[in-house]
Structure 1
Amino acid sequence: MQKLLSEIRACEVCAQHLPLGPRPIVAAHRDSKIAIIGQAPGTKVHETGIPWDDPSGRQLRKWLGVTDEEFYDETKFALIPMGFCYPGKGKSGDLPPRPECAPLWHEALFEQMPNLGLVIVIGIYAQGHYLRKKEKNLTETVKAYKHYLPAHFPLPHPSPRNRFWLKKNPWFELEVVPQLRKQVQKALGR
């Protein structure tokens, strides 16, 4: 696993497309119990090199019902983005994750994590890649989370930019988040 992680962190496949240059961000361990598949690191995460080290990460940990210490324990959580580097700024937020990363690295990572009990897929890019049966949009996919269990749990992105989505869909925090926490605890063997 360490050799693979070193190869990922040294990757420069799409360097010419990255405005801040390559800095692949990933955390995983052979004993990881839960994989969180996100979108791509933002500028703050690019700077620190720590996955989910931003307001989105704080919100995600709140939804999961875990402490920072638990979240950053690689034997518990593998933190794997669809695109490992910051992709740049678009018209209404960051650009989509680079398309090279997931096909190049994900399968090899998953092959080395035999103890995964849950894969949390965050946002449309991860859901589009990992969920075979898709609903018509992200909201419907998240509503239908039970259809994807026990292997996958779809979530919206926890970005502060999604506060309007959360306000418009109060069922998410009332119904889905408590079920998410139960699945997390189960996967962690509690």
Structure 2
Amino acid sequence: MNDPIAAARSCDICAPHLPHGTRPVFNIHPHSRVLIIGQAPGRKVHETGIPWDDPSGKRLRTWLGVDEATFYDPEYFGILPMGFCYPGKGRSGDLPPRPECAPQWHEPLLRLMPNVQLTLLFGQYALERYLGADRRKNLTETVRNWEAYQPNYLPLPHPSPRNQIWERKNSWFGEEVLPYLQEMVSRILEK
């Protein structure tokens, strides 16, 4: 694999399982400082090819305390979902990320980003892969114990507007985790 980025961009290993076809969406650079590992692109992101180009992305940028230009500068933020292509719709939202993607592409792409100082993990699939047995019994407890995963990882809930109820029930997230996240991102990007 001479050029993992080009290979990942042209990947079609999941094509038989993707009702809308393949369109790998990720954004990395050797100078990326903060890495975002989410689930999989949604329908809108599949159509535009721009990661986090939806209401969840807008909310994420607010959480991070950055503008669009900073967020989409791959020298600042690397974006590497668990599944690079839109998996399609299920009964209660989008289907899970395809299981073939992360094992195939994460390791070679992560090696290209030696400057990552903080990895943000969004959702159960990222938590499972990167925290493994160190996860707590559920996402809420894992996020509540975020300090245990520092300095390498920061587990977070998905920034979907549908999760606003979760945020209201867990006020500690907005009081403790988001200020820490914004402070860390600000400090890392200043370097």
The CA deviation string for residues 123-167 of structure 1, in whole angstroms up to 9 with x for no partner, is 111011101411110000111111101110010000112122112
**Structure 2 alignment gaps of length 5 or more:** none
> 1:96 maps to which residue?
96
> 1:134 maps to which residue?
135
TM-score, normalised via structure 1 length? 0.96
Are 1:11 and 1:24, in contact at CA under 8 Å, matched by a contact in 2? Answer: yes
**Structure 1 alignment gaps of length 5 or more:** none
> 1:149 maps to which residue?
150
Are 1:35 and 1:78, in contact at CA under 8 Å, matched by a contact in 2? Answer: yes
The CA deviation string for residues 24-75 of structure 1, in whole angstroms up to 9 with x for no partner, is 0010001100110000000000000000000000000100111111100000
| CA–CA separation in structure 1 for the residues paired with 2:190 and 2:120 | 16
- Answer yes or no: is 1:188 the counterpart of 2:179: no
> 1:11 maps to which residue?
11
| CA–CA separation in structure 2 for the residues paired with 1:127 and 1:164 | 21
3-state SS in 1 of match to 2:80: strand
- Answer yes or no: is 1:117 the counterpart of 2:147: no
Amino acid at match of 1:40: A
Query: What is the aligned length?
Result: 190
Deviation, 1:3, is 2.8
> 1:83 maps to which residue?
83
> 1:38 maps to which residue?
38
3-state SS in 2 of match to 1:78: strand
Are 1:5 and 1:26, in contact at CA under 8 Å, matched by a contact in 2? Answer: no
RMSD: 1.4
> 2:173 maps to which residue?
172
